Copies of this chain bind each other. A is one copy, B any other.
Amino acid sequence: MIAPGTYEELRNELATRHKDLSKRLKQIAEYALDNPNDMALETVSGIAERATVQPSSLIRFAKAFGYSGFSEMQRVFRTHLVESGANYKERIRSFGRDDETSEYTRNIVLDDFVDGGIAALDNLREVVDPDKFEAAIKYLREADVIYLAAQRRSFPVASYLAYAFAQLDKRCVLIDGNGGMFFEQGRSIRKGDALLAISFKSYSPEVVQLVKETRENNIPVVSISDGVLSPLTQNSDVCLEVEDIEVHAFRSLAATMTLALTLVVALGRQLQE
C-alpha cells in the first residue's frame, strides 16, 4: 500500500475507494473533500468534533490510505493549501534542486528562471494596490520634471523608465551618479517636480538619503520597493510594492520591469487625454 503524495492523487483515491469504505470512513472522506482547509489546519480532535467522529477514526482513516498516521496525511492537505493559494514563494522554494548532470542543468536553469518570473508576475497582479497605483500616476502626471533615482541592480529599471518617459515627451532626469555626482544631480530637484526612486534590499544608502531629503523639502516622492519594511516605503508619499523572486540566489527584474512598463503606459494614456 503506497500513500498518495499529492492532493490530487489523494482525491482520486478517495473517489475510487469511497464506496468500499466503512460507514465512519465514508463520513470522514466526505468531510475531507468538503473541508480540505480544516484537514490542513485543524487538530485531530478539532476535526473529529466538526465531523462528529472519534479522533481514533481519523487515524484509522489515514492508515487506511497508506499513511503512517494522521500527521503524514495532513501534510498532503497543507502542501495543497499552500500551492493552490496565491502564495507564490513556497512554490518557488519547491523547485530549484539542481544537483543534476550539466547536460540537464542548462535547461533546468532557464526553466527555473522562467518559472520564477511567471510566479513573480502572478504575484505582482495580486499585490499591486490600485489606489496606490493611481496615486503614483497622479504625482507623476503633475510633475514638471520626473527625477529618477536607482542604483546597482535597480538602475536598469530607472534607465528603462528614462527612455520610456522620453518617448512620451515627459521630461525626466536620470540620476546616474556619473562622475560621483549623485547628490549634486539629485539636489537640483525643485518644487513642482517629483522623485521616482527604486531600490530593494539591501537598500542603496544614497537613494534612501535622497528620498528623505526630497521628502523634507515637500517634494512628492514615489517609490518602487519591496514590502513594508523598506525605508523607501516609510519616507515616500506613495510606494508600490514588487517582489521579484530569488532563484539560485539571483533575483530577476521581470516583475519590476513589468510594473515600470505599466506605469509608463498608464501615464501615457492620461497625458493623451
Which among B14, B87, B269 is the interface contact of A36 at CB below 8 angstroms?
Answer: B87
Is B89 within 8 A of A81, CB to CB? no
Closest residue of B by beta carbon distance from A26: B229
A271 at the B interface (CB under 8 A): no
Is A11 within 8 A of B228, CB to CB? yes
Instruction: Please encode chain A, from 247 to 273, with 1 for each CB lying within 8 Å of some chain B CB and 0 for all others.
Output: 010101111011101101110010000
Is A106 within 8 A of B81, CB to CB? no
Q: Which residues of B contact A156 (CB under 8 A)?
A: 156-157, 159-160, 163, 257
Main secondary structure of the interface of A (DSSP, over half): helix
Instruction: Please encode chain A, from 75 to 87, with 1 for each CB lying within 8 Å of some chain B CB and 0 for all others.
Output: 0001001101111
Is B106 within 8 A of A37, CB to CB? no
Is B163 within 8 A of A266, CB to CB? no
Name which of A52-60, A109-117, A211-219 contacts chain B: A109-117
Alpha-carbon separation in the docked complex, A114 to B265 (Å): 13
Q: Which residues of B contact A106 (CB under 8 A)?
A: 130, 133-134, 266
Instruction: Please encode chain A, from 220 to 260, with 1 for each CB lying within 8 Å of some chain B CB and 0 for all others.
Output: 00000001110001100000000000001010111101110
Is A159 within 8 A of B155, CB to CB? yes
A125 at the B interface (CB under 8 A): yes
A88 at the B interface (CB under 8 A): yes
Is B133 within 8 A of A122, CB to CB? no
Name which of A27-35, A61-69, A186-194 contacts chain B: A27-35
Is A18 within 8 A of B229, CB to CB? yes
A145 at the B interface (CB under 8 A): no
Q: Which residues of B contact A103 (CB under 8 A)?
A: 130
A124 at the B interface (CB under 8 A): yes
Q: Which residues of B contact A30 (CB under 8 A)?
A: 229
- Contacts A110-B259, A113-B261, A254-B257 given; 10 further ones with Cβ under 8 A? A14-B229, A18-B229, A85-B86, A109-B262, A113-B262, A114-B124, A118-B121, A156-B159, A164-B250, A248-B265
